[in-house]
Structure 1
Amino acid sequence: MQSGDSAVADASHPVSPETLALVRTGRGLSGGLLVCATWETDSRPEVLELASRLTSETRAEPGCISFELCLPVEHSRRVVVLERYTDVVAFDAHRHTPHFLEIMQGQIAPLLSSRQIVVHEV
Structure 2
Amino acid sequence: MSQHYIVIATYTAKPEAADRVAQLLPTLAAESRQEPGNISYSIARDLERPNVFTIVEVYEDADAFTAHRESAHFASIGKMQIIPMLESREVVGYSGDGSLN
Place the TM-score, normalised by the shorter chain, in its bin: 0.7 to 0.9
TM-score, length basis structure 1: 0.73
1:34 aligned partner: 6
Q: What residue is the counterpart of 2:31 in the other structure? A: 57
Structure 2 CA distance for aligned equivalents of residues 75 and 121 of structure 1: 28
* C-alpha displacement of 1:62: 1.1
Equivalent pairs counted in the alignment come to 93
- The residue number in structure 2 matching 1:15 is none
**Higher RCO, 1 or 2 (CA under 8 Å, sep at least 6)?**
2
TM-score (norm 2): 0.87
Structure 1: unaligned runs, 5 residues or longer: 1-29
Shift of 1:74: 2.0
1:102 partner SS: helix
What is the aligned-residue RMSD (CA, Å)?
1.2
Question: Which residues of structure 2 form unaligned runs of 5+?
Answer: 97-101
Question: Is 1:89 matched up with 2:59?
Answer: no
- Where in structure 1 do 4 or more consecutive aligned residues deviate above 3 Å? none
* CA radius of gyration, larger in: 1
**Who is 2:43 aligned against?**
69
